Amino acid sequence: MENYENLAKQQRAFFLTGQTKPIDFRINSLNTLQNAINKHEKEILAALRKDLNKSEVEGYATEIKIVLEEIKFSLENLKGWMQPKKVDTPSFLTGASSVIYPEPYGVALIIAPWNYPFQLAIAPLIGAMAAGNCAVLKPSEFTPSTSKVLATLVRENFPDDYIAVVEGEVETSTALLKEQFDYIFFTGSTPVGKVVMEAAAKHLTPVTLELGGKSPCIVHSDAQITTAAKRIARGKFLNAGQTCVAPDYILVQRQVKEQFLDELKDAIQDLYGEDISRNPDFPKVVNEKQFKRLSTFLKDGTLYFGGRTDSSRNFIEPTVLDQIAWTDPVMKDEIFGPILPVIVYDELSEIIEEITKRPKPLALYIFSESEAVQDQILSSVSFGGGCINETLAHLTSPYLPFGGVGESGMGSYHGQVSFDTFSHRKSVLKRKAE
């Protein structure tokens, strides 16, 4: 097995020189990263096309623009985030003052998944750099072209002692996890999240776990059905459903089901054309293993729309499955592909009971015009984050911490919360000697 002891040691030595701490260093580094992304834009898009058949438009919007926005936001706000914060001091500590100093943890390990292989590697890296850390980045082995571009981009612009990319499979991740890091930021599946946390516990290393799960999408009878169908189609089938916060399944109230399904079919065809098998820009399923896993779900319930596949190119058509029961195989684990099961309900209380029996979702979406309905769901279901009358968009705001709860993860990031995540808050009480 490979050994990363030296890399971790080198980075720690570099960190201890103190070079990464001044604001100028952080700003220069973020600017360098920004320029490198712009310079490598074509290669990044070509790699995303190769790995996942992402179109240039989709690749740019969901992988490049989103991280450039994150860098811009960090550059604009870094000075304020870095300021020590004066806080109150209780009156019994006469003559004392209290200050919280944000300080970098040191050396961070970032492990990334394959579904947004560029964005989900770079976005946490921005937080780590803004907070003044060194970082080792381990991209996913299932998107090798993007992983290679990431490695080149980092190698060309940063010394290994400061930022390093380590490419490799599970063994590489396992070997990295043996080393002592000061922070571990993991994005991936819930089972692997547990492995990462166990490894981190050996060194008492704090972790952020950005995991997955089944994210419900509720369409209540008073929703604007046309809008709901359009926004759900867009959110579900982006990246062929391989989005951690994609609506995993639909819960639709009985009286609007037919109308909803009808509108959903139109919305899918508006997005991808009448014959989606001929759409050259529809993303592929990442690999044969995932293709086979997803294909077994196609026989669940009754096929309402789609269902065609092409194993030669890991293509699965956007598919809607009707007459689904909670006990069907497709309802067991996160789907993570372009298959959308639909379950009908009569009363809100039924679905609230079903959702709360299951692991806490990463995302939840509510389509309803009634504040009472929205409030009832928000006050009774715990989930990472979500939207009312929209899908996915909460993830794009730097003002909303993004992360899961329970089995969908712990900790969060984006905007200032990324900086906070990679910073220790050092609390200091200062008192006069006399």
Determine if 123 is a binding residue for ligand NAD (CB under 6 A).
no
Q: How far is the CB of 88 from ligand NAD (least distance, A)?
A: 36
Which of 107/112 has CB closer to ligand NAD?
Answer: 112
Catalytic residues: 210, 244
DSSP state for residue 422 in the 8-state scheme: T
- Interface positions, 391-410, toward ligand NAD (CB under 6 A): 404, 409
Residue choice 54, 138, 360, 394 for contact with ligand NAD (CB under 6 A): 138
Tokens of 256: 């609007």
Residue choice 20, 140, 205, 314 for contact with ligand NAD (CB under 6 A): 140
Determine if 120 is a binding residue for ligand NAD (CB under 6 A).
yes
Classify residue 259 by burial, with Cβ atoms within 10 Å: 0-12, 13-18, 19+: middle
User: Are 357 and 340 a contacting pair, CB within 8 Å?
Assistant: no
Determine if 122 is a binding residue for ligand NAD (CB under 6 A).
no
Which of 103/167 has CB closer to ligand NAD?
Answer: 167
DSSP run (H or E) holding 409? strand 409-410
Q: How many CA atoms lie within 13 A of 25 on its CB side?
A: 16
Nearest to 338 by CA among 305, 376, 312: 305
Q: How far is the CB of 363 from ligand NAD (least distance, A)?
A: 9
- Interface positions, 317-346, toward ligand NAD (CB under 6 A): 334, 336
Contacts of 85 (CB under 8 A, 6+ apart): 99, 100
Residue choice 82, 112, 126, 154 for contact with ligand NAD (CB under 6 A): 112
Nearest to 214 by CA among 236, 187, 194: 236
CB count, 10 Å around CB of 202?
Answer: 10
Q: Residues 92-111: x/- map of binding to ligand NAD (CB under 6 A)?
A: -------------------x
Nearest to 245 by CA among 124, 395, 64, 400: 395
Q: How far is the CB of 197 from ligand NAD (least distance, A)?
A: 11
Nearest to 57 by CA among 40, 45, 66, 47: 45
DSSP string, 126-172: HHHHHTT-EEEEE--TTSHHHHHHHHHHHHHHS-TTTEEE----HHH
SS3 label, residue 216: strand
Chain residue whose CB lies nearest ligand NAD = 212
Q: How far is the CB of 228 from ligand NAD (least distance, A)?
A: 23
Q: Residues 184-213: x/- map of binding to ligand NAD (CB under 6 A)?
A: ---xxx--x--x--------------xxx-
Residue choice 59, 113, 301, 386 for contact with ligand NAD (CB under 6 A): 113
| Chain residues in the site for ligand NAD (CB under 6 A) | 111-115, 120, 138, 140-141, 170, 173-174, 177, 187-189, 192, 195, 210-212, 244, 334, 336, 362, 404, 409
